[in-house]
Chain A
Amino acid sequence: MTRDEAFFEFLCRMGDNTLILGHRVSEWCGHAPVLEEDIALANTALDLIGQTQLWLGLAGEIEGEARDADKLAFRRDAWDFRNLLLVEMPNGDFGRTLMRQFLFDAWHTILLGRLMKSSDTRVAEIAEKASKEAAYHLERSADTVVSLGDGTEESHARMQAALDYLWPYVGEMFVVDAVDQAMAEEGIAPDPASLRAEYDALVGRVLEEATLTIPDSRFAHKGGRDGRMHSEHLGHLLTQMQWLQRAYPDARW
């Protein structure tokens, strides 16, 4: 794998996370339990999709095969996506959606903070922009996890169920492979495993305040970020996200 090939993979990982999560969160638009939550979810999705344009835009430049952010987002098939399994999972109920958002935001803010010091200025610039928005996302998702976790009997039970369901998808964030090693060697991105301690501390603090129990197991589902085994859910998601661009390939606004 050349340096540019590894860089392309890394950028797709960043952009596919925000793209797929942005799509998932946007599915709530018009369906949220309360108007303010509907707006908050839609705004979060919008931020994520905006960040996608930056990451995938750069990925297309690095690849050098005239694929822009739109082509990468809407013409690749499931096996070419590089997002974490966590973000392609169906939303479930509102509690599970916000738990997933929190587990992602905690990791995303830590990672973006490190990427602001990337040896590649373009990566550092995108990270600088995205980290400000991610900070607001984390503030909101953490607050919601605490309110619902330390809430009523029902909200607590649903949040605990959400945490039990999603925890096995957290480990994939910290997996290290050849792409990560190449990025770390170049100083472009940190070693993913090096983020774990800070992540555990942040997540532990918030979940304790939410009176929730982190599952014991360290088992981690894998196959998303390297594309080796996406879940069935991603295919269904893409049928919604990509149908227009595939049905009308030359469509223009």
Chain B
Amino acid sequence: MRQTQDRPSVQQIWDWLGQVPDPEIPVISLTDLGIIRDVDWQGDTLVVTVTPTYSGCPATTIINLDIETALRGHGIEKIELKRQLSPAWTTDWLTEAGRAKLEAYGIAPPQPAGGPDHCPHCGSTHVEKVSQFGSTPCKATWRCRDCLEPFDYFKCI
């Protein structure tokens, strides 16, 4: 049927979603974050399954709005957003590209050791934790003892 041939492919939708930035950390996209769990056409409705990062993340509502706005901007009319709680989002789902972008932006990406091994500004290994909590639920506050700059560390969860 003409309708099915006209609608964008699932891969195209993923590409479009890869261009939607995280509202709080605009250098990384929603696909870099690993929060888009599934994209599927059900009839002529596009179903996008999203998983929240932290329970109380205030960006969650905005992210949902941004997904709808972006997809409607590409001409998709019927959109359904589904929330999937399990498996729970983990920083393991951050893409390698996403991690590199975080570092370039000045946010140390998550490490299995539970803290950064170097300063994202000057590269020094003389770093110390200021607080396990930072400007957003996902970040901790660290500082570099060499260049003296504070920086955010994206916590493992």
Contact A129 B56 (CB under 8 A): no
If A124-B86, A125-B86, A126-B85 touch, whether A133 touches B55 (CB-CB below 8 Å) is: yes
Contact A40 B55 (CB under 8 A): no
Q: Which residues of B contact A129 (CB under 8 A)?
A: 52, 55, 85-86, 88-89
Contact of B130 among A36, A125, A132 (CB under 8 A): A36
Contact of A51 among B55, B133, B141, B157 (CB under 8 A): B55
B138 to chain A, nearest CB (A): 9
Q: Which residues of A contact B58 (CB under 8 A)?
A: 46
Contact A130 B131 (CB under 8 A): no
Proximity string of chain A (33-66) to chain B, C-beta cutoff 8 Å, 1 when within and 0 when not: 0001101100110111111011000000000000
If A125-B85, A126-B85, A128-B86 touch, whether A40 touches B131 (CB-CB below 8 Å) is: yes
Q: Which residues of B contact A40 (CB under 8 A)?
A: 131-133
Contact of B135 among A39, A49, A124 (CB under 8 A): A39
If A43-B137, A46-B137, A128-B85 touch, whether A136 touches B56 (CB-CB below 8 Å) is: no
Q: Which residues of A contact B157 (CB under 8 A)?
A: 132-133, 136
Contact B85 A54 (CB under 8 A): yes
Contact A50 B57 (CB under 8 A): yes
Contact of B88 among A132, A136, A140 (CB under 8 A): A132
B124 to chain A, nearest CB (A): 22
The 6 closest A-B pairs by CB, nearest first: A50-B56, A50-B55, A46-B56, A36-B131, A125-B86, A40-B133
Contact of B132 among A121, A124, A125, A140 (CB under 8 A): A140
Contact A133 B54 (CB under 8 A): yes
The residue in chain A whose Cβ has the minimal distance to the Cβ of B87 is A128
A92 to chain B, nearest CB (A): 21
Could you list 28 A-B pairs, sorted by A, with CB under 8 Å? A36-B133, A39-B131, A39-B133, A39-B134, A39-B135, A39-B141, A40-B132, A40-B133, A43-B137, A46-B54, A46-B56, A46-B58, A46-B137, A47-B54, A50-B55, A51-B56, A53-B56, A121-B86, A125-B85, A129-B52, A129-B85, A129-B89, A132-B88, A133-B137, A136-B132, A136-B157, A139-B132, A140-B133
- Report the bound CA distance from A216 to B16 in whole Å: 62
Contact B133 A43 (CB under 8 A): yes
A-to-B contact residues, CB < 8 Å = 36-37, 39-40, 43-44, 46-51, 53-54, 121, 124-126, 128-130, 132-133, 136, 139-140
- Report the bound CA distance from A9 to B64 in whole Å: 31
Chain A contact residues: helix, strand, loop or mixed: helix
If A53-B55, A136-B132, A136-B155 touch, whether A47 touches B137 (CB-CB below 8 Å) is: yes
Contact A49 B132 (CB under 8 A): no
B67 to chain A, nearest CB (A): 19
Contact B85 A47 (CB under 8 A): no
A139 to chain B, nearest CB (A): 7
- Report the bound CA distance from A171 to B113 in whole Å: 37
- Report the bound CA distance from A129 to B132 in whole Å: 19
- Report the bound CA distance from A36 to B55 in whole Å: 21
Q: Which residues of A contact B86 (CB under 8 A)?
A: 121, 124-125, 128-129
B82 to chain A, nearest CB (A): 13
Proximity string of chain B (41-59) to chain A, C-beta cutoff 8 Å, 1 when within and 0 when not: 0000000000010111110
Contact A48 B155 (CB under 8 A): no
User: Of A44, A46, A125, A130, which is in contact with the most chain B CB atoms at under 10 Å from its CB?
Assistant: A46
Q: Which residues of B contact A130 (CB under 8 A)?
A: 55
Proximity string of chain B (88-109) to chain A, C-beta cutoff 8 Å, 1 when within and 0 when not: 1100000000000000000000
User: Of A49, A51, A125, A129, which is in contact with the most chain B CB atoms at under 10 Å from its CB?
Assistant: A129
A51 to chain B, nearest CB (A): 5
The residue in chain A whose Cβ has the minimal distance to the Cβ of B139 is A43
Q: Which residues of B contact A126 (CB under 8 A)?
A: 85
Q: Which residues of B contact A133 (CB under 8 A)?
A: 54-55, 137, 157
